[in-house]
Amino acid sequence: MSPGTPPPRRIAVLGGGMIASVHRRAALLAGAEVAGVLASSPQRSREVADRWRVPRAYRDLDEVLADEQVDTVHVCTPNATHAPFAEAVLRAGKHVVCEKPLGVSVEQAARMASLAESSGLVATVPFVYRYHPVVRELRARRLAGEFGDWTLIHGSYLQDWMLSPDASGWRVDPGLGGPSRAFADIGSHWCDLVEWVSGERFTDLLAATSIAVPRRPASGGSTFSQSSSGELVEVSTEDSAALLLRTEGGVLGSATVSQVAAGRKNRLWFELDGSLGSAVFDQENPEQVWLGAPGGNRILVRDPVHGSDEQRRLSVLPAGHPQGYAQCFEAFVADTYAAIDGGAPEGLPTFADGLRSARLVEAVLRSSHDGTWTKV
């Protein structure tokens, strides 16, 4: 390290599963060092630390909080632990990146958002689909007035990883994953992205949920895994949800969310219809958007030398060299660290956005239970 060069940021990761590995990779690419990892047990922490080649395998959260070399903690653990872990991190004076949902209730999320605001620390939530370059292009064009006034918002987020009756995991258990599964897990992403791109906010909704597989193995493994053994238990969290929505400006919307849509791996799709034009984005084809107009339609392809400043900033590969989810996550983590260093990156999702998502989840659950239009 040359004289005057600040030391690299040192982070800790809570969790040792798939999404924790994604956080670790993005942190390394953003120039951070991973000081250590805390997994579900001391033995598991050591296994992950050895695999990641990081120096410390923390035995418990207290060891993480006491590590004075760590200034930022990534919380990548089951949903029910997000609130106690993130709150402890903030109280220890460390910045935090917390997986969504922010909490398993509005009360938890509100407490976390309030603590983050009063602490003055950076606290972010990975609503990373905001970081697709063409999504930034659509938002810039909306701000420039290209689409006119919105007349309709609609779309879906479909997956199939829970289609098999043998599929299970901690997310199925409401004690670990919370009272909502499909909507809290992926519908939250759809709502965040659509609200951010369109500039509209949903104020009222009518929701219905369904459970396609009423009994699943109790001893499920990690996310996207399947288990054909173990005791079968009753499922209480939804596989699918259908919503009618209304925005503050009176625009109608609809969304379908499912984790049992055969063949759909990660299809976050939306269409925004305006008085002057329409726009369509499909996360499984993230290099392009469809633009509709009365005089003809066209496909806009990501291009690092044309378009909005934000599209060009986030285009880290030449045109025709596909970018995707990994690059979105990397940009989100880099922007989080930039904010810690005093910057103000555009569109960085914070705990305030996590609280907004929790309010939408609660409204969906209340509406599906009562069968009525519900305020968000």
Report the pLDDT value the prediction gives residue 8, as an integer from 0 to 100. 85
The yes-or-no verdict on residue 68 having pLDDT over 50 is: yes
The yes-or-no verdict on residue 215 having pLDDT over 70 is: yes
- The tokens describing 292, both together, are 């509709």
Q: Do the Cβ atoms of 246 and 360 come closer than 8 Å?
A: no
Task: Give Cα separations from 8 to 30, 31, 65, 242, 261 (angstroms).
Answer: 10, 7, 19, 46, 43
What's the distance, CA 319 to chain centroid? 26
Mean pLDDT score, 351-374: 98
Domains of the chain: 10-128 (3.40.50.720), 130-321+350-375 (3.30.360.10)
Where do the H-state alpha helices sit in the chain? 18-29, 42-52, 61-66, 82-91, 106-119, 133-143, 174-177, 182, 188-198, 309-314, 325-340, 351-370
Q: Do the Cβ atoms of 281 and 269 come closer than 8 Å?
A: yes
Report the pLDDT value the prediction gives residue 60, as an integer from 0 to 100. 97
> Which amino acid, one-letter code, is at 223?
T
- Sequence-distant (6+) residues with CB within 8 A of 250 are none
pLDDT, averaged across the chain: 95
The yes-or-no verdict on residue 228 having pLDDT over 50 is: no
What percentage of the chain reaches a pLDDT higher than 90? 93
**Confidence class of residue 89 from pLDDT cuts 50, 70 and 90?**
very high
Report the pLDDT value the prediction gives residue 121, as an integer from 0 to 100. 98
Interstrand relation of 95-98 and 150-158 (parallel, antiparallel or unpaired): unpaired
> Which amino acid, one-letter code, is at 355?
L
- The tokens describing 107, both together, are 């009360």
Predicted confidence (pLDDT) per residue in 133-168, tens digit: 999 999 999 999 999 999 999 999 999 999 999 999
Angle formed at CA 236 by CA 194 and CA 211, multiple of 5 degrees? 65
Burial class (CB in 10 A: 0-12, 13-18, 19+), 271: middle
Predicted confidence (pLDDT) per residue in 14-40, tens digit: 999 999 999 999 999 999 999 999 999
Q: Comparing C-alpha atoms, which of 30, 275, 315 is closest to residue 147? A: 275
Between CA 235 and CA 29 the distance in angstroms is 39
Between CA 259 and CA 138 the distance in angstroms is 27
Q: Comparing C-alpha atoms, which of 169, 199, 194 is closest to residue 182? A: 169
Predicted confidence (pLDDT) per residue in 323-339, tens digit: 999 999 999 999 999 99
Mean pLDDT score, 202-224: 85
Sheet order of strands, 72-75 included = 56-57, 33-38, 10-14, 72-75, 95-98, 123-124
Between CA 374 and CA 376 the distance in angstroms is 6
Q: Do the Cβ atoms of 118 and 91 come closer than 8 Å?
A: no
> Which amino acid, one-letter code, is at 165?
P
